[in-house]
């Protein structure tokens, strides 16, 4: 068996595990338990190669965004990986997001179809509002979010996207959207040891919103912390795997990024161990110091 054939065989098993452990959305679709982040991938053909390698390793969920500036490259990578692994479009869960400068009904519609074209897919599995309009930037921030959401709902009801949601929305940003006929199904948040956003996650759970977690390694700042190092030794797992397992046990779908194939595979191999409840509490205690927090606050950021 060739190396590539073995990768494809192993990938099928890992892909199946991500689906079995995935989160069912209000739409009825299943969001795979781990996604592949595409922010700041290498340029050009290296990005295409990284995405194709991720497919061969077993990733089936790909987190994209117009802001990342690489959706056409990601689309090429998905097609290359699908060809090598003999996969179809329906085997993938593709996400994109509308950037804050494109909020509002018509701008959101235009941004969506541009992403659809750049990724070269005929539908999106999940479409998100990347950041909410906030009071610092807009007097009518709530109305702007609602007009954006109107476009999202229309895209959903017309079948262009199978599920819709938001990213970086706090409770007060979510409130009015929850009163619409199609409430958000996903909220993508920064979640990692040192910044687990417990109260917001709990609110989302009560509202039936599935949480995805970006920056699951706290921009690598958390990985050298003594608690992560201790748990790495205890479980004989890499600190990155401890972080991903932490997210999984919180009910969060983590979105790691990797360009090294060994790291890609390691990030998927987290279904055969479990962190003890006392160790989960230890990791949650790191919130006190907000270790690894990006500093990006959706109430304070401005976009131009």
The residues that are catalytic are 68
Chain position carrying tokens 């922010």: 39
211-29-276 Cα angle (round to 5): 45
179-181-187 Cα angle (round to 5): 65
Each residue of 254-267: b (16+ CB within 10 Å) or e?
A: bbbbbbeeeebbbb
Please state whether beta strands 30-31 and 23-24 pair in parallel, antiparallel, or not at all (unpaired).
Answer: antiparallel
Give the 3-state secondary structure of residue 97.
Answer: strand
**Tokens encoding 13:** 């098993």
Q: DSSP 3-state helix, strand, coil percentages of the chain (rounded to 5)?
A: 50, 15, 35
Contact 57, 264 (CB under 8 A): yes
């Amino acid at each position: 068996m060739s190396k590539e054939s073995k990768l494809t065989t192993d990938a099928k098993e890992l892909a199946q595990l991500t689906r079995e452990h995935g989160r069912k959305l209000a739409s009825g679709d299943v969001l795979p338990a781990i996604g592949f982040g595409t922010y700041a991938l290498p340029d050009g053909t290296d990005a295409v190669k990284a995405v194709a390698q991720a497919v061969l390793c077993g990733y089936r969920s790909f987190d994209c965004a117009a802001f990342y500036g690489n959706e056409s490259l990601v689309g090429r990578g998905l097609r290359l990986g699908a060809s090598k692994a003999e996969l179809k479009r329906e085997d993938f869960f593709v996400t994109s997001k509308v950037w804050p400068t494109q909020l509002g009904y018509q701008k959101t519609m235009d941004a969506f179809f541009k992403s659809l074209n750049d990724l070269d897919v005929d539908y999106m599995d999940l479409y998100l509002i990347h950041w909410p309009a906030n009071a610092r930037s807009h007097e009518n921030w709530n109305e702007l979010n609602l007009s954006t959401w109107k476009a999202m709902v229309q895209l959903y009801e017309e079948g262009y996207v199978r599920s819709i949601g938001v990213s970086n929305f706090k409770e007060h940003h979510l409130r009015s959207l929850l009163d619409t006929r199609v409430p958000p199904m996903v909220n993508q948040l920064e979640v990692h040891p040192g910044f687990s956003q417990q109260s917001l996650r709990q609110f989302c759970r009560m509202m039936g919103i599935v949480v995805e977690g970006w920056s699951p390694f706290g921009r690598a700042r958390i990985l050298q912390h003594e608690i992560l190092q201790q748990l790495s030794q205890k479980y004989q797992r890499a600190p990155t795997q401890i972080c991903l397992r932490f997210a999984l046990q919180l009910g969060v779908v983590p979105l790691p990024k990797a360009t090294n194939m060994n790291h890609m595979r390691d990030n998927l191999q987290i279904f055969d161990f479990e962190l003890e409840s006392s160790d989960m509490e230890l990791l949650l205690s790191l919130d006190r110091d907000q270790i690894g927090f990006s500093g990006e606050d959706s109430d304070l950021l401005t976009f131009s």
